[in-house]
Chains A and B, each alone.
Chain A
Amino acid sequence: MLKSSPGPAGVPGRRTGAREYHPDGQADAMAVAPHSALVRVTHRVDALSFAALLVSGVAILLVHPRLYWGETGAAGAPSLIDLPLPTVFAGQSGWGRYLHFLAAWSCVFAGALYLVAGLWSGHLRRDLLPTPAGARTLAAHVWPRRPGNDDDFAYNGRRAVRGHA
């Protein structure tokens, strides 16, 4: 449904974010297939939503620029962080909260659409899920194996001398 041109996976012409490789093993830097329209649109909606969340979040913060630790907090009670602002921007949290919720919802819908379409089209499985070899490489970076026996790492006289040489 989301493929813009027919053909099995791996055939040049399919539109994914994956880099295409030539059979002889040489990567061609120019042969990067563009992302699908759906991926691009949902990404841009998410980027816009994030900007709106940031702007409205700052507006909400500036109305009462104090952050508290614990169950409650108010002017006259201790605060964890007190932003040194010359004034508070009273009255800005109304539109701030309206916009914050709207932006959060557009994030949720764009994200859900991306996820469902990615599962449906196979984009997530094909292009984002690590290959078995990739998973092994990742595992090797996360849990590196020590080469040799522990004596190789011992801090002994020989290493101390070498360190000062």
Chain B
Amino acid sequence: MMTRRRLITGGLVAAAGASGRSAAARIADRYGLIPPDHSGLFGAGETLTYATQRLLTAHHPLAREFDRSQISRVAPINGGPPENDDYQRLLHGRFEDWRLQVDGLVARPSSFSLADLKRMPMRSHITHQACEEGWSFIAEWSGVPLAHVLNLAGASPAARYVVLRPFDAFWDSIDMADAWHPQTLLTYDMNGRELPTGHGAPVRLRVTRQLGYKSVKYLSRLSVVSTLADVGDGQGSGAVAYGYSWYAGI
């Protein structure tokens, strides 16, 4: 039976629900809790996972670091290095002419050579690299913290994401929580040796709190942006087109 009282109560509940939802969406957007792949069939689950993990890790904990004795003897390589001429020419020149471009929302758009990066403060960590498919290895990674390079270039307070452009098609992006994270490195050294070609030479990202595909190899350019909507297809990662989520937190 639809009484007047029930009608009024129902209307109030619906109004509160609708305004609550739009308020929640505004708050979530303001605090960066909505991933770029939030639409579609899996968008709700993806948004909940990303927002929850970001709220639970608001104090920016470090990923677990291991002992040197735990470094894996097997460190598989997924796919070969880029075959395009640009990369092959730099590879044959031992990356003498390689430059990392840093642009976008920065006060000083810059470009750094491999030698420049190696002169910057180095950080090493022995951490777990887990592939999305279910295999993993532990290695020692050394490089310059991405935060240091962002500070050198003068990243704007409006920055929300760093877009990672490699020489191959597997471009990606990370939010500022991961970009400023002290374990996030521009890695040029693996297990005490120059980063092997298959592992992303000359420089790959290491983002310790996400699955392996977010640790983009063969880097050539970093762009600091406030929105991913106008970058590529707007999904924040080349992986999304292949069915993989933008956020791959572990």
| A binding-site residues for B, Cβ under 8 Å | 60-61, 63-64, 66, 68, 71-77, 90-91, 93-95, 97-99, 101-106
Whether A98 lies near B245 (C-beta < 8 A) is: yes
With contact pairs A71-B128, A105-B45 given, residues A98 and B135 touching in the complex (Cβ less than 8 Å): no
Minimum C-beta distance from B242 to chain A (A): 6
Further contacts, 10 of them, CB under 8 A, given A101-B49, A102-B42: A72-B136, A72-B138, A74-B75, A74-B135, A75-B135, A76-B74, A91-B242, A95-B42, A98-B45, A102-B46
Binds A, one of B65-73, B110-118, B164-172: B65-73
Kindly state the separation between the CA atoms of A60 and B244 in the bound complex, as whole angstroms: 12
- Contact among A61, A71, A95, A105 with B70 in the assembled complex (CB-CB below 8 Å): A71
Q: Give chain A residues whose Cβ lies under 8 Å from the Cβ of B49.
A: 101, 105
Kindly state the separation between the CA atoms of A75 and B74 in the bound complex, as whole angstroms: 8
B76 is an interface residue with CB less than 8 A from chain A: yes
Whether B134 lies near A98 (C-beta < 8 A) is: no
Q: Give chain B residues whose Cβ lies under 8 Å from the Cβ of A73.
A: 135-136
Whether B72 lies near A72 (C-beta < 8 A) is: yes
Identity of the chain B residue whose Cβ is nearest the Cβ of A108 in the assembled complex: B48
Whether A77 lies near B134 (C-beta < 8 A) is: no
Identity of the chain B residue whose Cβ is nearest the Cβ of A88 in the assembled complex: B133
Inter-chain CB contacts under 8 Å: number: 83
Q: Give chain A residues whose Cβ lies under 8 Å from the Cβ of B128.
A: 71-72
| B binding-site residues for A, Cβ under 8 Å | 41-42, 44-46, 48-49, 66, 70, 72-76, 128, 131-138, 239, 242-245
Minimum C-beta distance from B36 to chain A (A): 14
16 of the cross-chain contacts (CB-CB < 8 Å) are A64-B131, A66-B134, A71-B66, A74-B75, A74-B135, A75-B135, A77-B72, A93-B244, A94-B242, A94-B244, A97-B244, A98-B42, A99-B45, A102-B46, A104-B45, A105-B45
Whether B243 lies near A105 (C-beta < 8 A) is: no
Minimum C-beta distance from A44 to chain B (A): 19
Kindly state the separation between the CA atoms of A159 and B97 in the bound complex, as whole angstroms: 93
Kindly state the separation between the CA atoms of A114 and B91 in the bound complex, as whole angstroms: 60
- Contact among B76, B138, B243 with A94 in the assembled complex (CB-CB below 8 Å): B243
Q: Give chain B residues whose Cβ lies under 8 Å from the Cβ of A77.
A: 72-74, 137
Whether B134 lies near A76 (C-beta < 8 A) is: no
Whether A74 lies near B45 (C-beta < 8 A) is: no
Minimum C-beta distance from B150 to chain A (A): 29
Identity of the chain A residue whose Cβ is nearest the Cβ of B239 in the assembled complex: A94
> Would you list the 9 A-B pairs with minimal beta carbon distance, nearest first?
A102-B45, A94-B243, A64-B134, A98-B42, A74-B135, A94-B244, A77-B74, A76-B74, A101-B45
